Amino acid sequence: MPEPAQARLTIDLDALAHNLSVLTAEAAGAEVAPVVKSDGYGLGAGPLACRLWAEGARSFFVARLHEGEALRRELGPERDSTIYVLDGVTAGAAPRLAAALLTPVIASLPQAAAASVFARQSSRRWPVALQVDTGMNRQGLTLEEARALAATPDGLRDLDVTLVMSHLGSATAPADRRNVEQLARFNQAIALFPEARRSLAASAGAFLGGDYRFDMVRPGISLYGGGPEERPDARLRAVATLTAPILDIRNFKPGDRIGYGAAVTVDRPMRAAIVAAGYTDGVVRGAMGKGHAWFRGAHRPLVIVTMDLIAIEIGDQEATVGEQVELLGPNALVDDLATAAGTVAHEVLVRLSTRAERTYLGAS
Ligand SMILES: *Cc1c(COP(=O)(O)O)cnc(C)c1O
């Protein structure tokens, strides 16, 4: 039994299915391959992927090898799927990748060599993806390395390159020139591997139009309700809702100092509700003084955020101890909280992974 004063995290898989359908429409025929790294952005990779599979998704991306192994277990043998591991063939990973039927995303020349050696030694042809860095400067072969690899007769021996992909660094700003520059480099990269399928766009890129879609798009955050341009998008629904009850209602007078190190000094009479949640439950501390919760039909300023308690200003609004406050959800949007805290929606969601009591709606 959840205790009454517990913060509750509700994960709405029907909202997830809705967001998948929005992205599927936007993808206009390209495959939508959900990204469920970091335990599904903190929301639970297993339950998310099982529902996404039921809605038709057949390819998934994770970052780490162990995330791929866990996802393969959670999907089980009956849910046939391709699971791509973005880290690729890290040291010692090849046998484990192969055993769990994971597809590595090769990100360097040494990784390509290690994959080829493993495939030859185990007398198999191994399906792999290749990541080419087209200008984000984070992960992947440079265009020159990709050219060298494609030109080396045995460079990809015993490997089947089934997918060539890259990642956009500025897609949340559609007018940024870097997008067209990366697109041009990607078009050069895919020409080197004409047999492979092609993927460039994550959530934001999926909304940049037809030139960016190719054969597959790889959304994460927009499946979970974050807008493609780092602000709320009315087409998408909130997947995660965090609520917590009011523990106490307090009246502050001018000069009262609230919180650790007197974080806030009150400059006017203020009525506040003390809510039974804190940054342990995923309300980012940086939102203090800038972000809002939702209570009785209105946004209420987050006055302080500590480990276990939050104070929200409620003015003269009637309120009773035990009533629920929405800290994140359809009315306290993930993009707004992220902006208030000076971060991105991705980070707000992954921080939800700790204490709150979890419920899934619409599990399959
Ligand atoms: C995280 C990631 C994605 C998904 O990004 P979103 O912004 O959450 O849609 C797609 N591709 C790669 C390579 C990633 O690292």
Whether 246 is in a domain gets the answer yes
**CATH code (residue 338):** 2.40.37.10
Residue 48 shares a structural domain with residue 103: yes
Atom of ligand 1 nearest to the CA of 219: 9
Mean pLDDT, the chain, rounded, equals 96
Residue 125 shares a structural domain with residue 40: yes
Contact 49, 36 (CB under 8 A): yes
- Structural domain containing residue 349: 240-361
What mean pLDDT is predicted for residues 8-35?
98
Q: Is the pLDDT of residue 16 over 90?
A: yes
**CATH code (residue 48):** 3.20.20.10
Atom of ligand 1 nearest to the CA of 203: 9
Whether 115 is in a domain gets the answer yes
- Residue 141 per-residue DSSP state: B
Residue 37 shares a structural domain with residue 81: yes
Q: How far is the CA of 268 from the centre of ligand 1 (A)?
A: 45
Instruction: Give residue 263's pLDDT band: very low, low, confident or very high (50, 70, 90).
Output: confident
* Per-residue pLDDT, 174: 96
* Per-residue pLDDT, 87: 98
What mean pLDDT is predicted for residues 165-179?
97
Q: Which of 164, 193, 224 is at the close of a domain? A: 224
**Nearest CA to 238 among 3, 37, 43?**
43
Question: Number of folded domains in the chain?
Answer: 2
Alpha-carbon gap, residue 106 to 159, rounded angstroms: 11
Residue 217 shares a structural domain with residue 294: no
What mean pLDDT is predicted for residues 233-243?
98
Catalytic (active site) residue 212: no
Residue 199 shares a structural domain with residue 248: no
Whether 7 is in a domain gets the answer no
Tens-place pLDDT, residues 42-96: 999 999 999 999 999 999 999 999 999 999 999 999 999 999 999 999 999 999 9
Q: How far is the CA of 256 from the centre of ligand 1 (A)?
A: 45
Q: Out of 37, 84, 224, 360, which one is annotated catalytic?
A: 37
Q: Is the pLDDT of residue 134 over 70?
A: yes
Q: Which of 197, 224, 251 is at the close of a domain? A: 224
Atom of ligand 1 nearest to the CA of 206: 9
* Per-residue pLDDT, 2: 60
3-state DSSP call for residue 92? coil
Nearest CA to ligand 1 atom 4: 220
Whether 86 is in a domain gets the answer yes
Q: Look up residue 340 and give its amino acid.
A: A
Reported pTM = 0.96
Residue 205 shares a structural domain with residue 354: no
The sign of the dihedral angle between the CA atoms of 110, 113, 117, 118 is: positive
Q: Is the pLDDT of residue 344 over 90?
A: yes
Residue 115 shares a structural domain with residue 249: no
Alpha-carbon gap, residue 129 to 112, rounded angstroms: 10
Q: Is the pLDDT of residue 260 over 90?
A: no
Rg (alpha carbons) of the chain, rounded to whole number: 23
* Per-residue pLDDT, 5: 75
Contact 70, 45 (CB under 8 A): yes
Length of the chain: 364
Helix pair angle (65-75, 45-54), 10° resolution: 50
Q: What percent of the chain is helix, strand and coil (3-state, nearest 5)?
A: 35, 25, 40
Cα angle vertex 196, ends 128, 29, to 5°?
Answer: 115
The Cα-based distances of 207 to 117, 192, 201 in angstroms read 39, 26, 9
Alpha-carbon gap, residue 334 to 338, rounded angstroms: 6
Nearest CA to ligand 1 atom 12: 167
Q: Which of 184, 199, 224 is at the close of a domain? A: 224
If one residue of 167, 229, 233 were mutated to test the ligand 1 pocket, choosing by the most ligand atoms within 8 A of its CB, it would be 167
Residue 250 shares a structural domain with residue 132: no
Contact 285, 307 (CB under 8 A): no
Residue 212 shares a structural domain with residue 245: no
Whether 125 is in a domain gets the answer yes
Whether 75 is in a domain gets the answer yes
Q: Out of 84, 260, 290, 360, which one is annotated catalytic?
A: 260
Contacts of 113 by beta carbon, 8 Å cutoff, 6+ apart = 155
* Per-residue pLDDT, 1: 59
Whether 296 is in a domain gets the answer yes
Nearest CA to ligand 1 atom 6: 220
Whether 2 is in a domain gets the answer no
Q: What is the dihedral of CA 315, 319, 320, 323, to 10 degrees?
A: -110
Q: How far is the CA of 36 from the centre of ligand 1 (A)?
A: 9
Contacts of 77 by beta carbon, 8 Å cutoff, 6+ apart = none
Atom of ligand 1 nearest to the CA of 86: 13
If one residue of 19, 36, 43, 61 were mutated to test the ligand 1 pocket, choosing by the most ligand atoms within 8 A of its CB, it would be 61
**Residue 71 CA neighbour count, 13 Å, CB half:** 36
**Nearest CA to 19 among 197, 198, 307, 220?**
220
Residue 71 shares a structural domain with residue 139: yes
Quick one: 258 exposed, middle or buried, by C-beta within 10 A (0-12, 13-18, 19+)? middle
Residue 266 shares a structural domain with residue 329: yes
Q: How far is the CA of 35 from the centre of ligand 1 (A)?
A: 6
C-alpha of 261 from chain center: 34
Q: Is the pLDDT of residue 227 over 70?
A: yes
Instruction: Give residue 191's pLDDT band: very low, low, confident or very high (50, 70, 90).
Output: very high
Cα angle vertex 266, ends 265, 272, to 5°?
Answer: 120
Q: How far is the CA of 125 from the centre of ligand 1 (A)?
A: 28
**Nearest CA to 276 among 253, 251, 242?**
242
Atom of ligand 1 nearest to the CA of 224: 8
Residue 23 shares a structural domain with residue 47: yes
Catalytic (active site) residue 290: no
* Per-residue pLDDT, 141: 98
Alpha-carbon gap, residue 232 to 340, rounded angstroms: 13
Tens-place pLDDT, residues 86-124: 999 999 999 999 999 999 999 999 999 999 999 999 998
Structure tokens that stand for 270 in this block: 């203020």
Pocket residues for ligand 1 (CB within 6 Å)? 35, 37, 86, 167, 202-203, 218-221, 346
Contact 293, 332 (CB under 8 A): yes
Q: How far is the CA of 56 from the centre of ligand 1 (A)?
A: 20
